Amino acid sequence: MRMVDLIQKKRDGGELTTKEINFIIKGYTDGSIPDYQMSAFAMAVVFRDMTPRERKDLTMAMVNSGETIDLSPISGVKIDKHSTGGVGDTTTLVLAPLIASLDIPMAKMSGRGLGHTGGTIDKLESIKGFHVEITREKFIELVNNNKVAVIGQTGNITPADKKLYALRDVTGTVESIPLIASSIMSKKIAAGADAIVLDVKTGSGAFMKTEEDAYRLAHAMVSIGNSVGRKTIGVISDMSQPLGFAIGNAIEVKEAIDTLKGEGPEDLTELVLTLGSHMVCLAGKADSLEDARKKLKEVIKNGKALEKFKKFLANQGGDSSIVDNPAKLPQAAYHIDVPSKEDGFVSEIVADEIGTAAMLLGAGRSTKEDKIDLAVGIMLRKKVGDKVKKGEALLTLYSNKSGVDDIIKKVYENIKISDYAEVPKLIHRIVTE
Ligand code: URA
Ligand code: CA
């Protein structure tokens, strides 16, 4: 088999066989196929797409390019949740203990944030002592005993994806449904979950700006998951504005605690209950979505979810007293309100730009090597649809530096006030096949 023939076949709209796809991924992983041929191939896929069978084969070839995690020593149905990335997305911090408090194992492998989206590990590390560098054995033991644990990305998982994603990033081949779907699903499948709930974001803060594109991506991923025996459901949710009020690390931990107490922002709470209900049903712990939602609300109300969170923190070395005393979380030196310049209704909060503003305060990284400031971030005071008076705060900058004029300018450029505005729909669509 020659790579050049396979590039031409895809270029001309042909369908590759399983053997051919395995040849490409194996060769690219071991270095016998060079970057220039792989980038030509990726570009052919961008223009020619892939059939459902090719997508599945590509995903599994990437899964098999490295190590896979065996979660079988954990009893029960293992559910994973994945978000395609958003701004101020605190859902994992809430969902992990919430789902675990219904006796459903949450064996979470998480990453750090890059760019305008935050990572769950960074957020958790704003809790003193908390660490994710634990052995696989310890991880499994914690999940078996307390139903929830988080581990950093360890081992040689999907090396083909790692290499291909880096190549796509610099060759204009990121934006392709089969390439994105196989990239995400290969990592989820290799991480060992039995069932997967995908939170596919749509809007300015999302990878997929339009609902139509988000649907195509969700459908592609759901098809791949189901075709390899991992039950998968996609929830298309709004990311036209940041989720909840807090965008940052310590302040999102505080927001997660509030939500676990039943006092969280309305949109974050609703998204958690929607994603959570599907997870509970996939785990076979409820008869219907309504039943699942009722159970989730119950463990919020009776304090079980919050207790689970405390135990989870303590198990991984974290100071669980921050749950009752959030003032012990890292605090920023300055709280700078940004007032509205006019009366009206907030009609737009451009999510990715506000996420970038939080990053510029130090809450996120622009390169992998950047160190982040866990205390800083942005606290929205108004959401889209809210009425605002001139002089009233639109948001508060939590900062450790006083000179933030450039960031304030960015905020004004990305929050629009109009005579009328509606609250955007949060859950756009559920994709099951
Ligand atoms: N996230 C991924 O993991 N892969 C992609 O291709 C795009 C986003
Ligand atoms: Ca948030």
CA–CA separation, 95 vs 117, rounded Å?
18
Please, are residues 257 and 364 in contact by the beta-carbon 8 Å criterion? no
- pLDDT score at 115: 66
53 in active site: no
11 in active site: no
Hey, which bits of 188-291 come out as E strands? 195-202, 231-238, 246-248
187 in active site: yes
Among positive and negative, which fits the CA dihedral 182, 183, 185, 191?
Answer: positive
Judge if the beta carbon of residue 165 lies within 6 A of ligand 1: yes
183 in active site: yes
Pocket test for ligand 1, best of 112, 153, 174, 180 (most atoms within 8 A of CB): 180
- pLDDT score at 304: 98
Name the stretches of the chain with pLDDT < 70: 113-118
Give the count of beta carbons closer than 10 Å to the beta carbon of residue 377: 27
Q: Please state, for a pLDDT cut of 90, what percent of the chain lies above it.
A: 91
The pTM of this model reads 0.94
Which ligand sits closest to the CA of 258?
A: 2
DSSP-derived secondary structure letter, 324: T
What burial letters (b/e) apply to 378-395, b meaning 16+ CB within 10 Å? Answer: bbbbbbbebebeeeebbb
Which ligand sits closest to the CA of 256?
A: 2
Ion ligand 2: residue ranges with CB closer than 5 A: 88, 90, 243-244, 246
Catalytic choice (187, 254, 381, 382): 187
pLDDT, tens only, 257-269: 999 999 999 999 9
Give the closest residue (by CA) to ligand 1 atom 3: 184
Q: Please state, for a pLDDT cut of 70, what percent of the chain lies above it.
A: 99
Give the closest residue (by CA) to ligand 1 atom 1: 184
Judge if the beta carbon of residue 200 lies within 6 A of ligand 1: no
User: What is the distance, to the nearest Å, from the Cα of residue 247 to the centroid of all Cα atoms in its chain?
Assistant: 14
161 in active site: yes
Distance 179 CA to ligand 1 centre (A): 8
- pLDDT score at 364: 87
pLDDT, tens only, 22-70: 999 999 999 999 999 999 999 999 999 999 999 999 999 999 999 999 9
Judge if the beta carbon of residue 286 lies within 6 A of ligand 1: no
What burial letters (b/e) apply to 320-335, b meaning 16+ CB within 10 Å? Answer: bebbeebeebbebeee
